Structure 1
Amino acid sequence: MLPLRLFFTALQFLTRLPIPRWVGFEPEWLARCTPYFVPVGVLVGALTGAVLWASAQLWPPVIAVLLAMAAGVYITGGFHEDGLADTCDGLGGAVSREKALLIMKDSRLGSYGALGLVLVLALKAAALWTLAQASPLTAALMLTWTQGISRALPVALMTALPYAGDPEHAKAKPLASGSGTGELALTMGFALALCALLATLRPTLLPAMAVGLATCAAVGLWMARWLHRRLGGYTGDTLGATQQFGEVALLLGLLAWH
């Protein structure tokens, strides 16, 4: 029963989707629910992928892609996109660690945040549009895959790096304590199961998926090194940015082969 509660805790944390009242909430569940970020990503990807496929039956692929992305933002409340914008604002300029952390706490959107958000969203839209032109169903499946796999990167980051901000003032204090190797192992298990499922459904996409995974891993290593050098660790905002960069890396890796 606890794994199901942890899944719903992750769902409540990462999305706007309702959860059953019987689930309840315990603060320690938030620290233990990180492996279920991948299944939550799969659910978000399946819903947005369904919007993409259904919309493609009525309108051109570019419209279907934009509607799917809008559905994704609605479902998640722009949770990861907000972290991306704050991270770009904080780390875009040549400022000190303390100044960068202060900027990321500011809710106002700056020029670096606006530029980063526009460029990342444009890259995702262009990549999905390219896939949807060839096959809306394949684009929907790959959207499900990238949404799930990209959410493994923040868990890896929480395992590899310490929390950079003040844990007492963290928006989600349990996540400031990081993630253990057990949580990371379960996360990777979910990710591998997702890859196996997609490879079974679309065996011809296996080489492209492998390239996407390699690209995503490279981006994850780059983020870990960058954040360690600039901040000495991660923050909630940088976890969101890592997910967004990982999603783009997966899509670009797919297209580089496909």
Structure 2
Amino acid sequence: MIQREFHAFLAAVLFFTRLPGIVLDDEYAKDAFSQASRYFPLIGWMVGTMGAGAFWAASLILPFPLAILLSICATILVTGALHEDGFADVCDGFGAGWNKEQILAIMKDSYIGVYGVIGLILMLGFKLLCLVSLRPLLLPIVMISGHALSRFASISLMFSYEYARNNDESSKAKAVVRKLSVNELLFAAICGLFPFFLLALLTREWRLFGIGIAVVWLTRALCGQYFFHKIGGYTGDCLGAVQQITEVVFYAMVVATMQW
């Protein structure tokens, strides 16, 4: 049991990050990757912590905005821009495609279009401006909370909707796509919410906790329904897009709530 869960966690690290030195034996790989999705919020802990560490180290010698920019760069390097790529593909696919077949074909194309470029510029710029608006002491726990909660919001789509590329064996996300069980969803929820709970506990801003969950979940629900209406479910790119969108929405919500 413990060995199986450890292999599933290693598979999650292998699939969702570009951290070196992670090895998974071939005999465990197929089953481990199919079980990896529930650990996605824990990957958010890792990515958020590395981003916070990069911010802290850079802030020792650089101005606050530059330190935040470097922390964003660090999180992109750790994940190999996996989710940013998914967000750009969704911008291109849903921006230029007229029906399901066109949308899926455009998202699979490795080239980025004008919708993707504009979307990435706006999304990364909005993320930077939100984080610059926060108090430096709060920034590390806010980043960890945002990365963990957004990954739970993203992976929860696998519980609510069907995969839209079931007949495409070349799909890169096929290895980790599987409908989550209730227990897996609960585990992912605990991992995704815990850093945010600590943030509310440290700041004694329980209003922030309630509003944050409501806003992030509403954003997730709107994205899920939009994808379902357009392509009948989700793809790996859709999961990456929801992660990026809910992360930015979370930061904006924190900024807005702290100013009340």
TM-score by length of 2: 0.92
Q: How does 1:141-160 map to 2 (within 5 A)?
A: 141-160=141-160
2:133 counterpart residue number: 130
CA RMSD, 1 decimal: 1.7
Q: Does 1:54 align with 2:54?
A: no
Q: CA deviation at 1:175?
A: 2.9
Ranges in structure 1 where 5+ consecutive residues have no aligned partner:
none
Q: How does 1:74-223 map to 2 (within 5 A)?
A: 74-93=77-96, 95-131=98-134, 134=135, 136-165=136-165, 166-200=167-201, 202-223=202-223
Q: CA deviation at 1:21?
A: 3.6
CA distance in 2, matches of 1:206, 1:49: 23
Name the SS of the counterpart of 1:44 in structure 2.
Answer: helix
Name the SS of the counterpart of 1:172 in structure 2.
Answer: helix
CA distance in 2, matches of 1:13, 1:198: 28
Cα deviation, 1:22-47, whole Å, max 9, x if unaligned, reads 66642121121111111111111001
CA distance in 1, matches of 2:203, 2:65: 26
Residues 220 and 246 in structure 2, CA contact (< 8 A), matched pair in contact too: yes
Name the SS of the counterpart of 1:168 in structure 2.
Answer: coil
CA distance in 1, matches of 2:69, 2:12: 26
Residues 83 and 243 in structure 2, CA contact (< 8 A), matched pair in contact too: yes
Q: CA deviation at 1:222?
A: 0.3
Residues 97 and 231 in structure 1, CA contact (< 8 A), matched pair in contact too: yes
Residues 170 and 176 in structure 1, CA contact (< 8 A), matched pair in contact too: no
Residues 93 and 106 in structure 2, CA contact (< 8 A), matched pair in contact too: yes
CA distance in 1, matches of 2:140, 2:227: 32
Name the SS of the counterpart of 1:151 in structure 2.
Answer: helix
Q: Flag the 1:86–1:38 CA change in 2: closer, same or farther, 3 A.
A: same
Code of the aligned partner of 1:7: F
Q: CA deviation at 1:19?
A: 4.5
2:250 counterpart residue number: 250
Cα deviation, 1:185-240, whole Å, max 9, x if unaligned, reads 2111222333333333x233432233222211111000111000001000111110
Aligned residues with identical type, % of pairs: 32
